[in-house]
Structure 1
Amino acid sequence: MDRLRRLVDSERAADLLLWVVIALPVLLSGDVPLWLRIAGVPLLGVAVVLSRRLPVAAPAVPVAMSLVASVELFTNSFTLAMVALAFLMGRRTDGVRGALVLFCTASVAGLVPVAVLGVTLWDWFTLLATVLFALVLPWLLGRNRRQYAELVRTGWELAERLESEQTLIADRTRLRERSRIAGDMHDSLGHELSLIALRAAALQVSPGLGEHERAAAGELRQAAATATQQLREIIGVLRMDGEGAPVLPAGDTVEALVARAAASGMAVELVREGSGGPLPPMADRAVHRVVQEALTNATKHAPGAPVTVTLVWQAETVEITVTNETPPPAPLPGPGPDPGPSPSGYGLVGLDERVRLAGGILRAGPSAGGYEVSARLPLAPGAEPTPPSENVSRRELALARLKVRRGTLAAIWVPITAVAVLGVLMFGFNLYTSYRSVLDTDVYDRLRTGASESDIEPQLPDYELDDNRPPDGAPAAPQDSDNCRFYRTGPHTFTPAYRLCFTDGRLSHKDMVEIAP
């Protein structure tokens, strides 16, 4: 039952449902050729699979099939697939370069029929509108959704870190109280040690070893034992709750830590760039803690993901970076291998303090689908601690909010701007064609029926009245004509219009007709 529930909630079930939804219009609609419908269903399945690993390539599949079916790109069969996969592209990718390449490629590809097949620019304008509303707008909405999800995730991270900071405050309070207790015990221990000194002095000046001296020696032994016991109690009081004795040697290295993680089953690799001498003690322990904490977090939050530990030596600093990739999907995820203990238990908050006291800077956050923790530390011994940085979570939350606001504004102004630009282009082209579709009266009067179409062609305007096809509301063509052309009588006049009809390649009719509104 649990396996069935996992299967229903799995990515495969979601992909299968998406495939069914976007394939239904292909099966039900008849606006594309049969062979394209037969090939389109499995190709859309491939696009759904690609949307996980290559989100930018997924919408290109229905775009290519739509271009094959229509130079205007808009089809009832593939438009839903373009909308859905473009939304997922924005939802699953952070960059914009790949999406812009796709949009520009689709737009430029629409110019090929204009140049090769003689299709008018009006079809290309329709293609641009389809790119805008079926690709760009869903992509913007997907980006906005992803940024909102990042905002929610960052908010929860901020809450967790604030809770961790509250825990740290409580721990500091307990430590201060323990310090007071240790001070009291120190006074008591000093008193006992002073008694030992007195007994030792009495034993030293004693002229012989009688019963008195032996009693003094016994008292000395007892005082020493008491002091030793109190010293043991002080060590126990100062140790943190639940913290055992150190397990790893004090001189443990990053290489040994990575080797233990690899031996336990983690896919981890150590990369060294440059070389340098031994690090200062504070920097050396900080580097060790960065690697230890990052590997521990990787096993907890990204089990099975490859991890790369990079140690870069520079002139005055050393930089350690731990990056884990996106964990592979697993139907039954289990706990990953544990590279080692995490002594502090404070996570990134305590780690930032450790790096700061060593004079370095810590950075942590998502990176290319995974997570990255890096620290830069000075090589000079005795480096001054860096000033406390601003709250990382609050900065990330503010950045996430800014991204959401920008994404929302982009989802509003980009379509509006694109529609305005497209409208200006269409208006300009319409104005241009209105002047270029006017048939001069003198030319019309010189045309004689029976003349060949090839002889008349050079005298005619470049464009016809309505996109090289009979306009709506035009009278029916003569029965014996093959085709009729319509031209304007003036640049701003739609009716009446000149009509030239041809039969077997020769002008058979010429007249002025009214175009019904």
Structure 2
Amino acid sequence: MRRERLRDLLLDLGLWGLLATPVLLRLDPNDGGSWGQVVVGVVVLGAAVACCRALPLVSLGLAVALSLATSPELFTPAYALALVVLGYLAGRRQQKPLWAAPALFATVAALGFALVPLSDGNVSQGFTVVLVLALAIVAPWLTGRYVRQYARLVRAGWELAVRMEAEQAAVADRERLRERSRIAGDMHDSLGHDLALIALRAAALEVDPALGTRQQAAAGELRLAAADATARLRDIIGVLRADEEERPGAPAAPVGETVEEVVERARASGLGVELTRRGPDGTTPPMVDRAVHRLVVESLTNAAKHAPGATVRVAVERAADTVTVAVSNGPADGPADGSAPAASDGPADGGPAASGGSGLVGLDERVRLAGGRLSHGARAVGGFVVRAVLPLEPGAAAPAPAPAPTSVRERDRARREVRRGLARAIWIPLALVGALGVVMLAFGLWTQSRSFLDRDDFADLRVGAPLSADSDELPPHPLDGPPATAPAEPPGMAGCLYYRATLTASVPVYRLCLVDGRLADKAVVG
């Protein structure tokens, strides 16, 4: 907060200096003004900048009052920049009431015509006030209002994007929980089947006459323990399944179904599937086996839904410590209408999908809990692929992926682009104007030096001595005429020559009057 206040203070001081510069340059005594006008203008502009954030229309009114006090036509070089800048800031910062700005504009227009009698009835003065009001105040104010409304619209859009992203993150979390529930159900089906076999074999041992009483009693205890474990497992899994809503189109698969059986079932339904197995045979951990089964089932289901008629390739490659499964389709095998990929129910970048976009989230959670990693997206040669790499040795599950703040990153990127564009829009014109100003200043100083007479050279000139306008003792170009404040020329000496006494100021000047090729009079005027 303190840093923001310091930044605002520095910006206000810079703005004050910017607006006060034309006042210092155009209202000093050398340009027909006075130091009193300069002090009043700088102080009032400082007050206008100070209240510009809280009372933007008041600051604009102060600038208008200064400009009208300087010229009844409202336009003055000293306050033109202040009118434009404060008009824009008033539109950018004004909140309520909205009728205050039109009321101020109407008052200024009416005041412009009310001052007509003070200018000897020149009605054109009132129209000049209205024209300056429209171009220097109303147009910047409307620009500021547009920028304000556009910023509000952009801010509302980003807020909506953040809310939508939060909702998508909630859906993804819910899908992960569902996938964990499905995993628990799969383990229940598998362990329940094994426990039932244990109980059945224990019951057979309990009634086996070849065993003794102690062995039969131990077998009975084993049967009761297996039955009790089955009941507890059913109760626990029942709690996990209580609120689960199975997705339509994904019926429960038979327990122990292999990838080959899944592929044969898909072929029997009319889907073109190619299965490739590489690597040695071996035992696969139950979690890994169910993850491979789930990935193949999910991918083939989406192939039948989104890419009917496409040939899908299923590749299972077993290495020493990992198993890799990939399901893909290519453009040459895809439908002519460019339907969605066989291996994904959402776009490759994880955006919204036609079928809800939650299938990949569930697959990712299933693979993660098995200790593997899942990838999906478009292939370089065309088509799409879903690939999972799973460990054959039991290990800890990979950390849950943090929700990617896409909207935050995009908002920051958009802000950086807007700032760069704004910087280019401001600094490039300013740099061009600055360069042009330097060139014009250099040219002005050069032209002024052509009419500048050094003080010592002026002192060396003697009245009555021969002298002409093209003499080497004089600058090559005299001024076009006397300054407005210069006194009348001496009688009989019309057409005197005037030269600058200084390079920067327009007054005073040196006056040299020539008569019959001789210097008849010299003086410092202005």
Q: Tell me if TM exceeds 0.5.
A: no
Q: What TM-score do you get using the length of structure 1 for normalisation?
A: 0.35
Largest Rg, 1 or 2: 2
Q: What TM-score do you get using the length of structure 2 for normalisation?
A: 0.35
Indicate the structure whose relative CO is greater, using CA pairs within 8 Å and at least 6 residues apart: 1
